[in-house]
Amino acid sequence: MNTSSQELSVIILSAGQGKRMFSATPKVLHKLAGKPILQHVIDTVLNLPTKKIYIVYGYEGQLLRKKIISNHSSLNWILQSNQNGTGHAIQKVMEKYEGANNDQILILYGDIPLISIKTLSRLLYFHTGFNISLLTAKIDSPYGYGRILRKDGLIVKIIEQDDVSENHKKIREINTGIMVVNKKKLNTWIHQINNNNAKKEFYLTDIVSIAHHSGHVINSMQSKNTFEIFGINNRLQLMHLERFYQKKQAKKLLLNGLSLADHRRFDLRGTLKHGKDIFIDVNVILEGNIIIGDRVKICNGCKLKNVTINNDVIIYPYSIIENTHLDSNSIIGPFAHIHSNSRISKNVNIGNFVEVKNTIFGKNSKAGHLSYLGDANIGKKVNIGAGAITCNFDGKNKNKTIINNDAFIGANSELIAPIIIGSGATVGAGTTVTKNINNGEKIISRIRQFSILKKNNS
């Protein structure tokens, strides 16, 4: 397409509820690889030289607008309060459309998330000289899609699933839903459609027979990649597309030198930057932005979200790490939970059933077992005994615990924040610490042991 004389606008139809999802959430907000289906489409479209992007919204519209992220200055939200069909949705856009008659309009469906920029660019290129161009595909199981009816090779009509008769069941060429139409023609044809069909809806696809009857050639291009044009209408289709997407990502990572125990049991719902000689075992989920250095091992069942991991870290099974920076040579887990802007320095050991929240952990420090460390600054070479906890919440506020270098916190101690433990201080096991402790001080607050069996024995 010659964009110098004809400008391009994009319409993304996203007003439907998606009844076949059986959900209170609009279909296009359901997630594929951690991102709303519609967001995939928008992110792709942002790579096109578009003048305006119109998103038709309706069902749970406010929620949709809140969840979708776009910085495109000319994003226009068009409300379709009653979802009377894809044709009706286009009529709503035309009422508000700003632009010239010779604009070209690319129509996309918000429920087709994996359409690629390459295919869209080719479709726009092959549209040159035509008023309407369809992206079609030949697939083995066309059930659910509109079928392309041709006569003497020319497209004459699209027949929707509910209107398909026995004669048409053999047709393998389907309508992907994606098309480019000249603005002036679209505005004319879209007002000629009716709802005399099985669903009593206004079908956008009816403009094809209208165009044919008014003497226009319906141009078409076939997509060879069937996943790219896969429309999501139910949860089974969503799961299939998710697995396809994950397999594709995993293959790319494997070929880039990342070791995965099993691509079928690996999920990346965001972005991953990685170094060399990393091993990721089965059932690991990575979300958000993940950066992993060299020689890192992530064992089975771990979940990581927005995490940076430096070299030579081992994360043992079933650990959950979120919004955290892990420096090199640390050993984490099994069953560790580290989150909320925690920073873990070099050579740290955070072990079994330890929760670390919004905490800075100094170099060479250890919390091997069963602890809660929240809102704390922990210095270097600190040892936190099993069962020790920071009592950071007084019912109203979160308070800080500062544990200085070389401190030893005995097992099962409670540090009542706000509190400062001096460097080299020792807290005896089972102590409830309520006052600050000086450097090098050794404190204990537990009662002496006595036997209740012998009388007169203290």
CA 203 to each of CA 26, 42, 88, 128, 160: distance values in angstroms, whole numbers, following the listed order:
20, 23, 7, 25, 9
Cα–Cα distance measured from residue 426 to residue 406, given in angstroms and rounded to the nearest whole number: 9
Map the footprint of ligand UD1 across residues 205-224, applying CB under 6 A.
205
The yes or no reply on residue 189 touching ligand UD1 (CB under 6 A) is no
For β-strands 419-421 and 442-443, DSSP reports them as unpaired
DSSP secondary structure letter of residue 447 = P
Interacting residue with ligand UD1 among 23, 233, 311, 323 (CB under 6 A): 233
Helix (H) or strand (E) holding 401: strand 401-403
* Interaction partner, residue 85 (ligand UD1, Mg ion, none; CB < 5-8 Å by kind): ligand UD1
Q: Is 387 annotated as a binding residue?
A: no
E strands, 103-251, are 104-109, 132-138, 147-151, 154-159, 173-182, 219-222
* Interaction partner, residue 110 (Mg ion, ligand UD1, none; CB < 5-8 Å by kind): ligand UD1
The yes or no reply on residue 17 touching Mg ion (CB under 5 A) is no
The yes or no reply on residue 26 touching Mg ion (CB under 5 A) is no
The yes or no reply on residue 174 touching ligand UD1 (CB under 6 A) is yes
In 18-105, alpha helices (H):
37-45, 61-67, 86-96
The yes or no reply on residue 336 touching ligand UD1 (CB under 6 A) is no
Catalytic residues: 369
Cα–Cα distance measured from residue 231 to residue 131, given in angstroms and rounded to the nearest whole number: 25
The yes or no reply on residue 201 touching Mg ion (CB under 5 A) is no
Interacting residue with ligand UD1 among 146, 301, 374, 385 (CB under 6 A): 146
The yes or no reply on residue 293 touching ligand UD1 (CB under 6 A) is no
The residues near 188 (Cβ < 8 Å, ≥ 6 apart) are: none
The yes or no reply on residue 231 touching ligand UD1 (CB under 6 A) is yes
The residues near 402 (Cβ < 8 Å, ≥ 6 apart) are: 376, 377, 419, 420, 421
Q: Which is nearer to Mg ion, 112 or 211 (CB)?
A: 112
CA-derived radius of gyration, the chain: 30
CA 319 to each of CA 120, 228, 304: distance values in angstroms, whole numbers, following the listed order:
42, 35, 8
Binding segment for Mg ion (CB under 5 A), chosen from 207-215, 228-236, 337-345, 372-380, is: 228-236
Q: Is 95 annotated as a binding residue?
A: no
How many residues of this chain interact with Mg ion, rule: CB under 5 A?
3
Interacting residue with Mg ion among 188, 233, 249, 399 (CB under 5 A): 233
The residues near 56 (Cβ < 8 Å, ≥ 6 apart) are: 11, 12, 13, 14, 15, 78, 79, 80, 89, 90, 92, 93
Map the footprint of ligand UD1 across residues 71-90, applying CB under 6 A.
80, 83-86, 88-89
Q: Token pair of 176, please?
A: 């992907």
Instruction: State the DSSP string of 63-80.
Output: HHHHH-----TTEEEEE-
Binding segment for ligand UD1 (CB under 6 A), chosen from 172-180, 296-304, 414-422, 430-438, is: 172-180
The residues near 17 (Cβ < 8 Å, ≥ 6 apart) are: 26, 27, 59, 60, 83
Q: Token pair of 101, please?
A: 């008659």
The yes or no reply on residue 160 touching ligand UD1 (CB under 6 A) is yes
Q: Is 175 annotated as a binding residue?
A: yes
Interacting residue with Mg ion among 18, 146, 231, 374 (CB under 5 A): 231
* Interaction partner, residue 335 (ligand UD1, Mg ion, none; CB < 5-8 Å by kind): none
Binding segment for ligand UD1 (CB under 6 A), chosen from 10-18, 259-267, 383-391, 441-449, is: 10-18
**Which residues in this chain contact ligand UD1 in the complex, by CB under 6 A?**
13-16, 28, 56, 80, 83-86, 88-89, 109-112, 145-146, 158, 160, 174-177, 203-205, 231, 233
- Residues of each annotated binding site for acetyl-CoA: 386, 429, 446
**Which residues in this chain contact Mg ion in the complex, by CB under 5 A?**
111, 231, 233
